[in-house]
Amino acid sequence: MVRRTVSRSGNVHSMTTGITPALSTASVLAIANTRHGPGGHYHHRAKAGDDPHDHLADGGAARDFLNQLNVSVPDGTPGAESLARLRTVQAAVHHIVAGNRSAARSAVGRLAERARYRLDADGRLVAVRRGWLGFADELLPPLLTLLGADNPPRACANPLCGWIYLDASRNRSRIWCDSTRCGNQQRVRRSRAQRAAV
């Protein structure tokens, strides 16, 4: 009798295919977080009404932001076509966070139309295209992981932040991107508001 191990959680992470994506879900989240609230940067005090940022506005800004997040990126700066594809990845994750799976799926479909892969000697799924276009193609497999995850990414509850994260806590109760930062800020704000209301 052949016994198959079936994942209890049904999580895509637990499937063993023997094929490793070249990039991780962390890289996809970094792309998603190129767009965030005005308080999404460390050491930056934002106030309500400040504009959100989008670091995919131009190639240099995109590269610098991803470097800051320690994402290993290709040489040079992304051109117009690569930026457009990175924006599609960004939008897809924001759709997943918003619970809009059909919009996320159509974004994924647009990425899949052009992407081509080969397996390297280590069994890694690498893009046929090189440079930033290949980088964008390699974001697709981990993006599919996020799309299929039963514990999808969420946005930080701090409205000025909106940073997207994966909640790995046991009871999935995390609401801040970082409890020492956004969590504390919000606690301070709440207690100030309560004191002011007395």
Binding residues for Zn ion, rule: CB under 5 A, are: 156, 158, 161, 163, 177, 182
Q: Which of 1/48 has CB closer to Zn ion?
A: 48
Provide the angle, in degrees to the nearest 10, between the axes of the packed helices 101-114 and 131-138.
140
Q: Which of 44/101 has CB closer to Zn ion?
A: 44
Smallest gap from Cβ 195 to Zn ion, in A, equals 23
Smallest gap from Cβ 11 to Zn ion, in A, equals 24
Q: SS3 for 126?
A: strand
Q: Which of 72/169 has CB closer to Zn ion?
A: 169
- Cβ atoms of 185 and 192 closer than 8 Å: no
The residue ranges of DSSP E strands in 46-189, in sequence order, are: 53-54, 117-119, 124-127, 154-155, 164-165
Q: Which of 41/124 has CB closer to Zn ion?
A: 41
Smallest gap from Cβ 72 to Zn ion, in A, equals 24
Task: Determine the Cα–Cα distance for residues 100 and 93; give it in Å rounded to an integer.
Answer: 10
Smallest gap from Cβ 137 to Zn ion, in A, equals 30
